[in-house]
Structure 1
């Protein structure tokens, strides 16, 4: 007797199931060309920032390798290494600000670039912390700077893919 009751509950209960919530339509179903153009411009701006960041990190590498990072030439102010480090941190913050706006806009558009921008966001936080921890020379700094060069190059590749994904937002399927 228990089996028919259990079967009725299990199989009959499915008749009372509520429909699954509908997911919002995907990024390609609607296109706001003006907003997509703004997003693409923002990603391009971030690519420009990454090029500046890479140059700054490479300058830090050279300064750390030359062992002239501890004191300013006249001893009265911060070293070239410290000045360059502060410049790189400012560049990184500008990149973070631009990416945050790109991420907000990508979410608004349901852009296919959203996931890639999230990857860039995590990398930016890590890279900024790495620069903040630089001491001005030594083996540890050299390894960190080597890693930073690779990370910035990888981030540039990711943002290039993000740009391609954003461009695909308004393309019609072939």
Structure 2
């Protein structure tokens, strides 16, 4: 594993534990010679993890749409910064440049990015590992909701297991490095004469 795409907030959040989690993840990645790929901003947790990776001597590649260069304050000190035309190109390039994905705490943009690559994995469009860095129990509600989705038969357990999670960065990175893809085809219910079969 040479690079991990990190999805995270453009805010630092309500507690300093989130920034500390970002710094610990940066250290774990640099210690494992894993480069950072992320959204290219210099604000919030995005800026924290990029700054720490660079401070520790690691590589950080940002991908940012031209329209967000001012809003997200594009980071000027990265190893590489790709400026792209829109969010679709941003997400596609981030995925292409990465060997795995981690979602740190963040808002709806972070969740949207996470669920897109998670859906791609479920559909078999890629076989890269995906993880949640569950700092301070941030993702407990989401993990519980996915169990509810399984119980309601909209998701199979093996598909849910495509998304791993841990509270500590070192444990999560180890899980991503140990990941071995397995085929879990998305199933579709057929409706015949008003009955689901």
Q: TM-score, normalised by structure 1?
A: 0.24
- Give 1 or 2: higher strand fraction: 2
- Give 1 or 2: higher helix fraction: 1
Select the structure of larger CA radius of gyration: 1
Query: Could you say which structure has the greater relative contact order, defined with CA pairs below 8 angstroms and 6 or more residues apart?
Result: 1
Q: TM-score, normalised by structure 2?
A: 0.22
